[in-house]
Amino acid sequence: MTLHAITVLGHDRPGIIAGTTARLAGLGLNLEDSSMTLLRGHFAMTLVCSGAADEAAIATALAPLGEDGTLTVTVREVPAEQPATSDGSPWVLTVHGGDRTGIVSTVVGEVASAGGNITDLTTRLAGDLYLLVAELDLPAGTDVDVLQASIGQVAADLGVVATLRPAEADDL
């Protein structure tokens, strides 16, 4: 039993997910985690599936998807990763403001410097408005006030607004 990471990128149309997953099911593969969205209108999907089929068999089965040249499919075997657990705390970082180069790299650079790990990230450009929303884990002992100040400083230098707030879920 092996794990494969598959990406499908390209021109969006109805039926891409249905076509992809039907071919994977035909190989007896089990879809585990997947994520799909539209990025500037481009179809973008990444999925991890498990099963006995090898990389070549999967690539062959998915090849028809890319035949018209509008979709690019990649297949790569990946090792099993242990689910991340942390003694830290989850946070949501939101950054928005006028579009310019370097917003993401500068702000997330501060997160990385603090040892923070980004676990989910979305950025959107809507007209002149640039938006970043990230989920991050901060290690235990992080001085959040210091991190907030440093993010606030680089955000101010970029002319954008950044907020960092706890993302702890309420257990019910």
Partner 1 sequence: MSDDRVTAWSEDELGVSGRVLPVVRAPEPVLATVGEDVDPTSTETVQLAADLVATMRVSPGCVGLAAPQVGVSARVFCVDVSQHPKARTHHGTFVLCNAEVVESSRNEKAREGCMSVPDLTGDVKRASRLVVRGQLPGTGESVTVTTDAFEARALQHEIDHCSGLLFLDRVAGAHAVYARTTYL
Q: Which residues bind partner 1 (CB under 8 A)?
A: 36-37, 83-90, 119-120, 122, 135, 137, 167-172
Nearer to partner 1, 57 or 167 (CB): 167
Distance of closest approach, residue 88 Cβ to partner 1, in angstroms: 7
Q: What is the DSSP letter of 20?
A: H
Q: What is the DSSP letter of 139?
A: P
Q: What is the DSSP letter of 15?
A: T
Distance of closest approach, residue 85 Cβ to partner 1, in angstroms: 6
Nearer to partner 1, 56 or 172 (CB): 172
CA 123 centroid distance within chain: 10
Nearer to partner 1, 158 or 164 (CB): 164
Nearer to partner 1, 90 or 109 (CB): 90
Distance of closest approach, residue 140 Cβ to partner 1, in angstroms: 10
Distance of closest approach, residue 7 Cβ to partner 1, in angstroms: 18
What is the C-alpha separation between 111 and 55, in angstroms, rounded?
36
Based on its alpha-carbon atoms, the radius of gyration of the chain, rounded to whole angstroms, reads: 20
Nearer to partner 1, 35 or 153 (CB): 35
- Report long-range pairs for 103-106 (Cβ below 8 Å, ≥24 apart): 103/130, 103/132, 103/158, 103/160, 104/132, 106/154, 106/157, 106/158
Distance of closest approach, residue 133 Cβ to partner 1, in angstroms: 9
Using left for φ > 0, alpha for ψ between -120 and 50, and beta otherwise, residue 10 falls in: left
